[in-house]
Structure 1
């Protein structure tokens, strides 16, 4: 699949991915990409966030490719059952936070936990870091297997955000292009 054949929905996490974040750069670079805007980026409420993603998928005219980072990943996983069959062609998931950990930031709605373990009804890949402060690699790997997602070991990459040095992230864009070729 080519990017021009799909609606690419960028699904940021907490704080909405700032101007230097790779998601923002991809949104600007990819002509069919648009951000799923949330009403409150600082106080995520699972029901509101998942409903917003589901409504954006429903409003799309072409097959959807979801590109989620951080809390956007649990948002997509929780919303997956709300998508019409075949509406989502695939999901590129990056930097899963383990929302089941007791030390997650207090502003995150506890309803994000537990994470569903059902297989996702579309192809997906989860890119995980060996030193992500929000999720140990083995947990990310376990979730990926539950969802039927391919797992990509990003090595020592932190949370794969601008603060970790992942502004442009050309390697991620190449990995994304490879994922699209499989769809």
Structure 2
């Protein structure tokens, strides 16, 4: 709940529709969710690169990068995780209003948090992409040695170890990243974007 008072939303002279028309494509958020090591950031950046090369206005919001700046005051308690996702949802909404296709890579472990973000957007603008990968494979990949540290008790509240991950029940896109290559995942996402007339 906002603590600010006496504020009124200022409507921009240039609308979201105006920007979409100028860009020649729609805008949306591709919200990648999944365990650490599932491939969220890799696939999100591959999608973003392909969008860029096709002349689509795009941007990547990555979980680790956001925690270096905007959300550096947040830890990993349940409250902080929820606030982390709330803030990035609001940032993503600004990007959608600017006419961009924004890809986000956040574990975002709680369904209620993702549903709260979805509620910020108009129908069709929030595309939940579940990067589905067994935890055993995520642990074997473990590029940052986070699972190893969590198993040793050096990291607390680590998703999948001592903090839960609630998989999406009805995501728009499911990417089994232990089965598909990155290129195949990108093609599946682009197929969705074309089929829904975003591109």
TM-score, normalised to structure 1, is 0.49
Larger Rg: 2
Q: Which gives a bigger RCO, structure 1 or 2 (Cα 8 Å, sep 6+)? A: 2
The structure where helix makes up a greater share of residues is 2
